[in-house]
């Protein structure tokens, strides 16, 4: 029930997005996010550094790749090392020594991914810690409180300087997340509860001037529920909106329709963050549908399994076929891995117990994602995004017409035809 929730809505929430260019055919936009720790060009892919680290690569390496915003996770950091310690460490920026922007997720998704350890009520999500069996209640207030505490007086100039302002630059509301494969009344319950929890998060938010609280649109795969959620949440004057509850086990056909529905009802002058999307094809299509921000563990996780991302898909470098392949992963790629190393060497290193192999691939895969987004953006600015999409699909699938049906349909819905 969408009650008339007491709205402690933000009056004139900061407009953090500036549109630079728009595709005249599709809904694609190029823009800039103006955040406390610097400007971020959009569309943007945000690598995920869950526990205050981008896995095996240093913040210097991440910076050198051109990354200007990445993710941390409230649930994980809330458990270890905990918000008090992070606050003492000059906030999350200071703790991990990251001078650019941070976005922290609320812990909502963990309700789905760690469902056996969680229980949802109106109060919040009760988690049982897998480490010590202790129970914690993650309420909207608690989630915002933790994310506020990840704040600091940290300046990007040096790790130990206590000056300046802000913590994680974008924080997410706690939402009631159900897996996209769930049907029935639970979906509706979760959608309405997410609206109520949004209001509670807004009310609890102590630092609206320094941390941007984003709402998360829910409603599962039900168009009506989603529409209701969009209508209600857009009444709240938050600086940005995320599209949640997707990129689970749903079919791609349902997926894109929900994304398209969402972007059609979200304000143009605020960023649209599609959560959990990271496959190259999905990124390109969803940019066409009007999304600006993306995050996903896929590129960094797949790297640690020996898989390198390339314009034609991916290379599983552990395979014997690469044993004597003396070229780089991608001759067009400018990342340090491709500048210095061959597929053959990486193959050999992957079969050793030296973790350096994983780091080489993590660097490359992040570079791949960032270079892809950069190319997408340039094509939008230069008014040739539809051609870019055709070329991209051609490289990925051999021929633009061979791209998956869902993608063809999605692109067609916004005026881009392939082949």
Partner 1 sequence: MKLSLTKVVNGCRLGKIKNLGKTGDHTMDIPGCLLYTKTGSAPHLTHHTLHNIHGVPAMAQLTLSSLAEHHEVLTEYKEGVGKFIGMPESLLYCSLHDPVSPCPAGYVTNKSVSVWSVAGRVEMTVSKFMAIQKALQPDWFQCLSDGEVSCKEATSIKRVRKSVDRSLLFLDNCLRLQEESETLALSSRLECSGAISTQRSLLLLGSSDSPTSASRVTGTTGACCHTRLIFVFLVEMGFHSVGQAGLELLTSSDPPASASCWDYRHEPPCLVLQKSVIIGVIEGGDVMEERLRSARETAKRPVGGFLLDGFQGNPTTLEARLRLLSSVTAELPEDKPRLISGVSRPDEVLECIERGVDLFESFFPYQVTERGCALTFSFDYQPNPEETLLQQNGTQEEIKCMDQIKKIETTGCNQEITSFEINLKEKKYQEDFNPLVRGCSCYCCKNHTRAYIHHLLVTNELLAGVLLMMHNFEHYFGFFHYIREALKSDKLAQLKELIHRQAS
The answer to whether 174 touches 108, Cβ cutoff 8 Å, is: yes
Min CB(64)–partner 1 separation in Å: 7
Min CB(344)–partner 1 separation in Å: 6
**DSSP-derived secondary structure letter, 154:** B
Stretch that binds partner 1, among 91-99, 106-114, 266-274, 307-315 (CB under 8 A): 91-99
Q: Is residue 15 a contact point for partner 1 (CB under 8 A)?
A: no
Its sign, for the CA torsion 196, 200, 201, 207, is: positive
Q: Given phi > 0 = left and psi -120 to 50 = alpha, else beta, which region is 200?
A: alpha
Comparing CA positions, the residue from 93, 324, 325 lying closest to residue 211 is: 93
Buried b (16+ CB within 10 A) or exposed e, 165-184: bbbbbbbbbbbbbbbbebee
Q: Is residue 136 a contact point for partner 1 (CB under 8 A)?
A: no
Contact pick of 6, 121, 181, 354 for partner 1 (by CB under 8 A): 354
Q: Is residue 316 a contact point for partner 1 (CB under 8 A)?
A: no
State the binding string over 274-313 for partner 1 (x if CB under 8 A, else -). Answer: ----------------------------------------
The answer to whether 155 touches 179, Cβ cutoff 8 Å, is: no
C-alpha–C-alpha distance, residues 192 and 182, integer Å: 16
Min CB(98)–partner 1 separation in Å: 10
Stretch that binds partner 1, among 46-54, 200-208, 219-227, 254-262 (CB under 8 A): 46-54
Q: Is residue 363 a contact point for partner 1 (CB under 8 A)?
A: yes
Q: Which two tokens stand for residue 245?
A: 């509850």
Q: Is residue 21 a contact point for partner 1 (CB under 8 A)?
A: no
Q: Is residue 95 a contact point for partner 1 (CB under 8 A)?
A: yes
Contact pick of 8, 20, 64, 112 for partner 1 (by CB under 8 A): 64
The answer to whether residue 151 is catalytic is no
Q: Is residue 8 a contact point for partner 1 (CB under 8 A)?
A: no
Q: Is residue 96 a contact point for partner 1 (CB under 8 A)?
A: yes
Q: Which of 282, 292, 295, 330 is catalytic?
A: 295
The answer to whether 195 touches 238, Cβ cutoff 8 Å, is: no
The answer to whether residue 295 is catalytic is yes
Which of 24, 354 has the CB closer to partner 1?
354
Which of 53, 281 has the CB closer to partner 1?
53
Contact pick of 2, 157, 223, 356 for partner 1 (by CB under 8 A): 356
Which of 11, 132 has the CB closer to partner 1?
132
Q: Please, which contacts does 394-402 make with residues 24 or more away whose CB atoms are closer than 8 Å?
A: 395/311, 395/312, 396/280, 396/281, 396/311, 396/312, 396/313
Q: Is residue 52 a contact point for partner 1 (CB under 8 A)?
A: yes
C-alpha–C-alpha distance, residues 118 and 120, integer Å: 7
Q: Is residue 326 a contact point for partner 1 (CB under 8 A)?
A: yes
Which of 168, 180 has the CB closer to partner 1?
168
Q: Residue 151 CA to chain centroid, in angstroms?
A: 20
Q: Which of 105, 175, 292, 330 is catalytic?
A: 105
- Number of residues engaging partner 1 in binding (CB under 8 A): 45
Is residue 64 exposed (0-12), middle (13-18) or buried (19+ Cβ within 10 Å)? middle
**Helix, strand, or coil (residue 294):** strand
Which of 80, 383 has the CB closer to partner 1?
80
What number of other Cβ atoms are within 10 A of residue 243's Cβ? Answer: 28
The answer to whether 169 touches 160, Cβ cutoff 8 Å, is: no
Sites of contact with partner 1 (CB under 8 A): 51-61, 64, 76, 80-81, 85, 88-89, 95-97, 159, 323-324, 326, 336-337, 340-342, 344-345, 348-349, 351-360, 363
Catalytic amino acids? 105, 295
């Amino acid at each position: 029930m969408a009650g008339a929730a007491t709205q402690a809505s933000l009056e004139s929430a900061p407009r953090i997005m500036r549109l630079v260019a728009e595709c005249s055919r599709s809904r694609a936009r190029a823009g800039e996010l103006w955040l406390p720790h610097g400007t971020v060009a959009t569309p943007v892919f945000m690598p995920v550094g869950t526990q205050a680290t981008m896995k095996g690569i240093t913040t210097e390496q991440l910076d050198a790749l051109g990354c200007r915003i990445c993710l941390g996770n409230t649930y994980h950091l809330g458990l270890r090392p905990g918000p008090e310690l992070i606050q003492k460490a000059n906030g999350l920026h200071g703790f991990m020594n990251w001078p650019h922007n941070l976005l922290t997720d609320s812990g909502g998704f963990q309700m789905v991914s760690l469902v056996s350890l969680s229980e949802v009520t109106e109060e919040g999500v009760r988690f049982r810690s897998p480490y010590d069996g202790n129970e914690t209640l993650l309420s909207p207030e608690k989630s915002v409180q933790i994310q506020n505490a990840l704040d600091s007086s940290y300046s990007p100039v040096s790790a130990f300087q206590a000056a300046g302002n802000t913590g994680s630059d974008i924080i997410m509301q706690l939402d009631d997340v159900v897996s996209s494969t769930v049907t029935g009344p639970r979906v509706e319950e979760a959608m309405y509860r997410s609206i109520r929890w949004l209001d509670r998060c807004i009310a609890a938010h102590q630092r609206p001037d320094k941390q941007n609280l984003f709402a998360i649109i829910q409603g599962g795969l039900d168009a009506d529920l989603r529409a209701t959620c969009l209508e209600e949440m857009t009444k709240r004057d938050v600086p940005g909106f995320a599209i949640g509850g997707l990129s689970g086990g749903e079919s791609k056909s349902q997926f894109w329709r929900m994304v398209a529905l969402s972007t059609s009802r979200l304000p143009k002058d605020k960023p649209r963050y599609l959560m959990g999307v990271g496959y190259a094809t999905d990124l390109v299509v969803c940019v066409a549908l009007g999304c600006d921000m993306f995050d996903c563990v896929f590129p960094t996780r797949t790297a640690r399994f020996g898989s390198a991302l390339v314009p034609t898909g991916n290379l599983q470098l552990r395979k014997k076929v690469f044993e004597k392949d003396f070229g780089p992963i991608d001759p067009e790629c400018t990342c340090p891995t491709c500048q210095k190393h061959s597929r053959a060497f990486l193959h050999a290193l992957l079969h050793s117990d030296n973790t350096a192999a994983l780091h080489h691939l993590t660097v490359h895969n992040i570079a791949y994602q960032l270079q892809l987004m950069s190319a997408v953006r340039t094509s939008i600015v230069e008014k040739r995004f539809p051609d870019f999409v055709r070329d991209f699909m051609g490289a990925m699938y051999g021929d633009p017409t061979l791209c998956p049906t869902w993608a063809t349909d999605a692109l067609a819905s916004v005026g881009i035809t392939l082949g």
